[in-house]
Amino acid sequence: MEETIVSVVGDMVRACPGAISLGQGVVHYPPPPEALEGARRFLEKPHHKYSPVPGLPELIEAAKAKLLAENAVTVGPGRRVMITAGANMGFVNALMAVTDPGDEVIVPMPYYFNHTRATAMAGCRAVSVPTDASYQLDPAAIRRAVTPKTRVVVTVSPNNPSGAVYTEASLREVNLLCREKGLYHVCDEAYEYFTYGGVRHFSPASIPGSEPYTISLYSLSKAYGFASWRIGYMVVPAHLFEEVEKVQDVLVICPPTISQYAALGALRAGPDYCRRRVREMEKVRALVLEELSKIGNICHVPRTDGAFYFLIGVDTDMDQMTLVERLIKEYGVGVVPGRCCGLDRKCHLRVSYGGLAGNSVAEGIGRLVKGLSGLVS
């Protein structure tokens, strides 16, 4: 299984006093006050036994209401919602429920590294399929990659690591392919609120008739500043619910109850909290693009419209990890090498601008631009 690159880079940054991390995929802002109030409500009358494996009923109902209002996803007899300890757990739940060792899982490349790691842990084979020059899906390439062993097609939109927001047309085409071939379409939508310039996020589970084969994953970690609380939720076909519940019972028994109370408060705060933060992040994003444009002779930045990442190409023959180490040690800035996302032929770096406030991001990007100029040009 691939090494945990983000942790490796994080350790290197911590070992270098004063270094700034542009590696970790988190937001810099905290949960809304309603979330903390929800946690306080739990502490007023705490109970220390397990809560239901699928999650608190009231949180499940809140998630259903959110899905209908914001994603046009109706949860009826053919679908169930399960609260998870983050979207990563939702992915493992899904994979363990629908695959057997030796099955194949199609992942568009660049891929989210934890998806391929989970696939390896399940004894399955990740089949990476290239995207285009703007990191958009190539449904025809995905179709060509399907074999008798294929069980799942994964899409992540808005995308980690590229920031691409897949088009509605391409997501519909992939979803239809899954229907035709008898595959499951696993849709990771953890960054659903992070879109810019009028681009809209599309949820494939909103497609009529998609209930039996579409699995959708959501998270509070990003939009609501909930990373350490470990809460997300998944929408699964009703016929899979019992199998998914078995997996979750083995892995965690139940999501942390206090975190579920906090999540209920967050959902009551609603999407306006997230959207205000995204508007602030859009200014930071513009600053990052402006700074990176100064080294356009050595750095290629495909323009994407989502998440809080840029996946940049660097014109160098230097090994990716060597470049990352030198940026940290000599210039005090950490980024993630693209090799952990399947991009190992040329030098790519994932730059995250979500985890720091404006001034810190400006300093970090300034160091990155200076470092690449000094090490590459």
Q: Tens digits of per-residue pLDDT, 179-208?
A: 999 999 999 999 999 999 999 999 999 999
CA distances from 183 to 151, 216, 238, 246 (A): 5, 14, 16, 21
Return the closest-CA partner of residue 139 out of 88, 181, 99, 101: 181
**338: pLDDT strictly greater than 90:** yes
Question: What's the whole-number average pLDDT of the chain?
Answer: 95
Give percent of the chain above pLDDT 70: 99
Tokens linked to 163: 């920031």
Mean pLDDT of 204-217: 98
5-14 and 320-331 helices cross at what angle (nearest 10)?
A: 20
Place of tokens 């008898």: 182
List residues bridging with 306 in a β-sheet.
Answer: 195
List residues bridging with 128 in a β-sheet.
Answer: 107
Q: For residue range 116-153, what is the model confidence (pLDDT) as tens digits?
A: 999 999 999 999 999 999 999 999 999 999 999 999 99
Return the closest-CA partner of residue 112 out of 301, 330, 343: 343
**344: pLDDT strictly greater than 90:** no
Return the closest-CA partner of residue 351 out of 299, 316, 315: 299
**pLDDT bracket for residue 315 (50, 70, 90):** very high
Q: Strands of 95-249 (E only): list them.
A: 104-109, 125-130, 150-156, 184-188, 214-219, 232-237
Q: For residue range 28-45, what is the model confidence (pLDDT) as tens digits?
A: 999 999 999 999 999 998
CB 232 within 8 A of CB 85: yes
The pLDDT value recorded for residue 251 is: 95
Pick the CATH number of 5-30+272-376 from 3.40.50.300, 3.30.565.10, 1.20.1600.10, 3.90.1150.10: 3.90.1150.10
**pLDDT bracket for residue 361 (50, 70, 90):** confident
**356 or 323, higher pLDDT:** 323
Mean pLDDT of 369-373: 96
Span(s) in the chain for CATH 3.90.1150.10:
5-30+272-376
CA distance 183 to 71: 22
Q: What does the angle CA 353 – CA 358 – CA 361 come to, to the nearest 5 degrees? A: 45
**2: pLDDT strictly greater than 80:** no
Pick the CATH number of 33-269 from 3.30.450.40, 3.40.640.10, 3.60.21.10, 3.40.50.1820: 3.40.640.10
Place of tokens 């071939």: 181
Return the closest-CA partner of residue 72 out of 245, 267, 235: 235
The pLDDT value recorded for residue 107 is: 98
Residues 6+ apart with CB under 8 A from 126: 104, 105, 107, 111, 115, 116, 119, 120
- The alpha carbons of the chain give a radius of gyration, in whole angstroms, of 20
The pLDDT value recorded for residue 326 is: 96
Q: Provide the 10 A C-beta neighbour count for residue 23.
A: 26
**3: pLDDT strictly greater than 80:** no
Span(s) in the chain for CATH 3.40.640.10:
33-269
The pLDDT value recorded for residue 159 is: 98
DSSP per residue, 309-331: EEEEEE---S-HHHHHHHHHHHH
Q: Quick check: helix, strand or coil at residue 336?
A: strand
For the chain, what percentages of helix, strand and coil (3-state, to nearest 5) are there?
45, 15, 40
Q: For residue range 32-83, what is the model confidence (pLDDT) as tens digits?
A: 999 999 999 999 988 899 999 999 999 999 999 999 999 999 999 999 999 9
